[in-house]
């Protein structure tokens, strides 16, 4: 018998990953899903054994019985869905980015404060167990002073103006879809937002950023070279370079392995996911909601706002804007 009941707003590919992950989380289940297309919501519910499907978030919330909601709609719809849940007093896990602009992020955070309800950006990488090992290596000074991070995340899909990744009305482009992963890793590593940052990139015919290169300097003096793309395969290996060695993390956004290299030593640590990796952020949400807090100290509101401000700034560098701004 599950004692923590999730609802879902959205029923796409990422929603499926959430529904799969929750199967390995003790005491939790998805009891309802909603979407603008009721027939698709019902098909998703049937496919994943979810007992109820609704044609809107409002309808689902009115039915009650939810401890938290996972919002995984297209980016521009995050704010409306999250605010509806928070105003109903229901905690929310919102797929990254929390919202496509800092103005919308502020709207969500204000609703959390006003409604006294929890909200967290679903930066699932932050909660993967292998990063606990990496953090211990860093805190123990195993690689000395960290001087540089190199990390990129990119994949190639055919350019299609009707696809969400290439539609500015849906906040398409590489920066918000995958660029937040290397940017988020840099924030975690250096413990602060960058003091200097610049981006160059390729903006496609539809007006979205298709391939971006980012250079940043952090208050510690550390540098970052980061990349993201939706039109090119980029090697998803993160390398943290220090004065005494390196840490390498393959597939850093969903990591299960990390390698520490120092003079005369190499240590490889592997921590396979229990499920697909989403389970750890789900458990964080459950712990926070049960504790009655409004935010996770591991993925706090201030960092979500920082990320939104940073992405707004980088988009200005790239001269990318969205029609709903």
Chain segment 56-111, per-residue pLDDT in tens:
999 999 999 999 999 999 999 999 999 999 999 999 999 999 999 999 999 999 99
Q: What is the DSSP letter of 209?
A: E
Question: How high is the pLDDT of residue 52?
Answer: 98
* 163 vs 296: CA distance, rounded Å: 33
Q: How far apart are CA 278 and CA 8, in angstroms?
A: 14
C-alpha separations of 114 from 117, 204, 293, 294 in Å: 8, 40, 13, 11
Burial of 128 from C-beta contacts in 10 A (0-12 / 13-18 / 19+): buried
Confidence band of 237 (pLDDT split at 50, 70, 90): very high
Catalogue the active-site residues. Answer: 96
Scan for tokens 């918000």, then name that residue: 176
Burial class (CB in 10 A: 0-12, 13-18, 19+), 153: buried
Cβ-Cβ contacts under 8 Å for 25 (sequence gap 6 or more) = 275, 279, 282, 283, 286
The phi and psi torsions of 53 (rounded to 5 degrees) equal -135, 145
pLDDT digit string (tens) for 260-281? 999 989 999 999 999 999 999 9
Phi, psi of 101 (to 5 degrees): -135, 155
- Residues listed for the chain: 325
Asked if residue 1 has pLDDT above 80, the reply is no
Label residue 210 by pLDDT band (50, 70, 90): very high
What pLDDT does residue 264 have?
86
The whole-number pLDDT of residue 202 equals 98
Q: Which pLDDT value is given to residue 298?
A: 97
Closest to 60 measured CA to CA, from 5, 117, 20, 116: 5
Given a contact cutoff of 8 angstroms between Cβ atoms, the answer to whether 65 and 91 are in contact is no
- CA distance from start to end of the chain: 45
Considering the entire predicted model, what is its pTM?
Answer: 0.96
pLDDT averaged over every residue in the chain:
97
- Mean pLDDT, range 210-236, rounded to an integer: 97
Q: How far apart are CA 222 and CA 265, in angstroms?
A: 24
pLDDT at residue number 312? 98
pLDDT digit string, tens, across residues 286-322? 999 999 999 999 999 999 999 999 999 999 999 999 9
CB atoms within 10 A of CB 226: 24
DSSP 103-144: HHHHHHHHHHHHHT--EEEE-GGGG-THHHHHHHHHHTTTT-
Within 10 A of 299 (CB to CB), how many other CB atoms are there? 25
């Amino acid at each position: 018998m599950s004692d923590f009941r999730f609802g879902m707003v959205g029923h796409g590919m990422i929603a499926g990953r959430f529904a799969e992950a929750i199967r390995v989380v003790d005491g939790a289940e998805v009891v309802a899903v909603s979407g603008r297309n009721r027939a698709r919501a019902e098909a998703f519910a049937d496919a994943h054994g979810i007992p109820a499907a609704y044609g809107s978030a409002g309808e689902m919330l009115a039915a009650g019985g939810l401890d938290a909601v996972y919002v995984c709609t297209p980016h521009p719809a995050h704010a409306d869905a999250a605010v509806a849940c928070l105003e109903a007093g229901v905690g929310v896990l919102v797929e990254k980015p929390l919202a496509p602009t800092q103005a919308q992020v502020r709207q969500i955070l204000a609703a959390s404060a006003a409604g006294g309800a929890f909200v967290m950006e679903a930066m699932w990488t932050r909660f993967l167990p292998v990063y606990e090992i990496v953090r211990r290596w860093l805190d123990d000074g195993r690689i000395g002073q960290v001087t540089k991070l190199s990390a990129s995340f990119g994949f190639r899909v055919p350019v299609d103006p009707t696809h969400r990744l290439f539609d500015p009305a849906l906040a398409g482009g590489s920066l918000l879809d995958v660029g937040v992963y290397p940017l988020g890793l840099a924030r975690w590593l250096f413990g602060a937002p960058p003091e200097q940052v610049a981006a160059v990139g390729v903006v496609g015919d539809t007006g979205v950023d298709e391939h971006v290169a980012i250079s940043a300097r952090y208050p510690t003096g550390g540098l970052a070279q980061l990349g993201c793309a939706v039109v090119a395969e980029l090697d998803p290996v993160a390398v943290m370079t220090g004065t005494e060695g390196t840490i390498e993390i393959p597939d850093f956004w969903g990591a299960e392995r990390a390698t520490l290299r120092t003079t005369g030593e190499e240590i490889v640590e592997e921590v396979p996911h229990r499920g697909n990796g989403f389970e750890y952020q789900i458990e964080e949400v459950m712990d926070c909601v049960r504790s009655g807090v409004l935010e996770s100290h591991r993925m706090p509101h201030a960092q979500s706002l920082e990320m939104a401000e940073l992405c707004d700034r980088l988009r200005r560098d790239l001269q990318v804007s969205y029609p709903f701004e």
